[in-house]
Amino acid sequence: MQTGPDLGPILGPVLGIETSCDETAAAVLDTDGVVLAEAVLSQEAEHAPFGGVVPEIAARAHLATLPAMVQLVMRRAGLQFSDLGGVAASAGPGLIGGLIVGSGVAKGIALAQGIPYVAVNHLEAHALTARLPGLVPGGAPFPYLLLLVSGGHCQCVAVEGVGRHVRLGGTVDDAAGEAFDKIGKLLGLPWPGGPALERLARSGDPARHAFPRPMLGRAGCDFSFSGLKTAVAQVVARYPAGALPAQDAADIAASFQCAVAETLADRARHAMAMFSTKYPEGRLLVVAGGVAANATIRAALEDATRAQDFFLLAPPPRLCTDNAVMVAWTGIERLALGLYDKMDFAPRPRWPLDALAVAGGEAGGGAAPR
Ligand code: KG4
Ligand code: ZN
């Protein structure tokens, strides 16, 4: 976090850019958080033949599509670059090639227009989505609990404020989405495995296989998915290659999904208890990341929150998965506090949330603000 000379009120709409993984996205929000225009382009088709995100392909695709996408959202918003009050881009954690592309475009616009540039922590952007006007009347008040479950991340975080996050627990091996993707691959489903596995599970019996619920009941709120993955792989290995009957595949998918849902609900219950001890006034659990789109998981979390007198906020799936609205909004939250970054801010492939408060101890903003 960096602070600079007080900029006073934000002078115009904020452009947000997201390029940390395999979604290229741009959005423009007015200073109240109203979305003026947004666009997201998934690179799923480019990566699918390889069964996962290929960093080099991702970086090239961001480079090929981002400039035109930025122009498109500006045109749709009816704005010139000179109308902007700031530019925010995901600067980590993520794949370095994409982060360099997004940060470079953002810095170029900020320099040319003499407006502040905000290096956004992608995880903080997921965390602050809950405060977008319109989701919770008046915006979610701090503090709240975040369960982030995506292809790259699986963690519980107490969100105390902008730049103030306390990690309560996280995965010791795979992320939840990664587990879905790997089991999807085992079952011969297209990548990414999550949505396809959820569809397959609809016709399966979740009680057919008693797969392990990793860490169930364990103190704290860490996660682990490797034992579950191994257990599923052992069942799949009982069938000759390529000869898994459709109903058996559906039963495996449903049983696996059920194990993940119960595990996440159990870990969330522990996280809520930990959170309540430290922040008795906070009663909101926010779930974000691609896995939050899963209906069985949402239902399990809904039950867990109700039982603990919490409220569950699951933003619409398009705001749960990677997007630029959350990046622009984080830019607005930071700019409103006078927080922006220097032009020499280097993108960070690794950038834990709880390092945010001390990440850029050096004070002083980058772009010459208007
Ligand atoms: O947040 P996201 O779009 O990208 C990042 O990883 O940052 O999440 C993608 C992940 C993938 O692993 C995908 O398989 C998983 O979210 N996912 C799902 C579902 N939709 C996406 N997992 C389970 N059920 C779903 N419906
Ligand atoms: Zn993400």
Report pLDDT digits (tens) over 66-94. Answer: 999 999 999 999 999 999 999 999 999 99
Closest ligand to 177 CA? 1
- Give the Cα separation of 213 and 330 in Å (integer): 35
Q: Give yes or no for residue 366 having a pLDDT over 50.
A: no
CA of 16 to the centre of ligand 1 (A): 22
Closest ligand to 257 CA? 1
The encoded tokens of residue 255 equal 């049983």
CA of 314 to the centre of ligand 1 (A): 14
What pLDDT, on a 0 to 100 scale, did the predictor assign at position 7?
Answer: 60
Ligand 1 atom closest to the CA of 21, numbered from 1: 7
Average pLDDT over residues 23-47: 95
Question: How does residue 359 score in pLDDT terms, banded at 50, 70 and 90?
Answer: very low
Q: Give yes or no for residue 144 having a pLDDT over 50.
A: yes
Q: How far apart are the first and last CA of the chain?
A: 21
Q: Give yes or no for residue 38 having a pLDDT over 80.
A: yes
- Give the Cα separation of 250 and 269 in Å (integer): 28
What pLDDT, on a 0 to 100 scale, did the predictor assign at position 356?
Answer: 84
- The answer to whether 58 and 322 are in contact (CB under 8 A) is no
CA of 289 to the centre of ligand 1 (A): 7
- Give the Cα separation of 340 and 347 in Å (integer): 14
What pLDDT, on a 0 to 100 scale, did the predictor assign at position 358?
Answer: 42
Q: Which residues contact 212 (CB under 8 A, 6 or more apart)?
A: 227, 228, 231, 259
Q: Give yes or no for residue 39 having a pLDDT over 60.
A: yes
What pLDDT, on a 0 to 100 scale, did the predictor assign at position 241?
Answer: 87
Q: Does the CB atom of residue 151 touch ligand 1 within 6 A?
A: yes
Q: Does the CB atom of residue 294 touch ligand 1 within 6 A?
A: yes
HSE-up of residue 52 (Cα within 13 Å, Cβ side): 12
Residue nearest to atom 22 of ligand 1 (CA): 194
Ligand 1 atom closest to the CA of 295, numbered from 1: 26
- Give the Cα separation of 343 and 330 in Å (integer): 18
DSSP 208: S
Sign, CA torsion 266/270/273/279: negative
Q: Does the CB atom of residue 192 touch ligand 1 within 6 A?
A: yes
What pLDDT, on a 0 to 100 scale, did the predictor assign at position 263?
Answer: 97
Q: Does the CB atom of residue 13 touch ligand 1 within 6 A?
A: no
CA of 137 to the centre of ligand 1 (A): 27
Q: Does the CB atom of residue 256 touch ligand 1 within 6 A?
A: no
Q: What Å distances lie between residue 174 and 199, 220, 226, 228, 352, CA to CA?
A: 22, 17, 7, 11, 16
Q: Which of 170, 152, 164, 184 is nearest to 289 (CA)?
A: 152
- The answer to whether 328 and 88 are in contact (CB under 8 A) is yes
Q: Does the CB atom of residue 290 touch ligand 1 within 6 A?
A: yes
Q: Which of 166, 178, 170, 179 is nearest to 127 (CA)?
A: 166
- Give the Cα separation of 308 and 272 in Å (integer): 8
How many Cβ atoms sit within 10 Å of the Cβ of residue 329? 26
HSE-up of residue 39 (Cα within 13 Å, Cβ side): 17
Q: Is the peptide bond before 192 cis (omega within 30 degrees of 0)?
A: yes
- The answer to whether 269 and 230 are in contact (CB under 8 A) is no
The encoded tokens of residue 59 equal 């970086």
CA of 288 to the centre of ligand 2 (A): 8
What pLDDT, on a 0 to 100 scale, did the predictor assign at position 367?
Answer: 43
Ligand 1 atom closest to the CA of 288, numbered from 1: 1
- Give the Cα separation of 333 and 120 in Å (integer): 11
CA of 123 to the centre of ligand 2 (A): 7
Q: Does the CB atom of residue 319 touch ligand 1 within 6 A?
A: no
What pLDDT, on a 0 to 100 scale, did the predictor assign at position 111?
Answer: 98
Neighbours of ion ligand 2 (CB under 5 A): 150, 322
Q: Give yes or no for residue 127 having a pLDDT over 50.
A: yes
How many Cβ atoms sit within 10 Å of the Cβ of residue 317? 13
Q: Give yes or no for residue 194 having a pLDDT over 90.
A: yes
| Mutation probe of ligand 1 site: the residue of 121, 129, 150, 174 with most atoms within 8 A of C-beta | 150
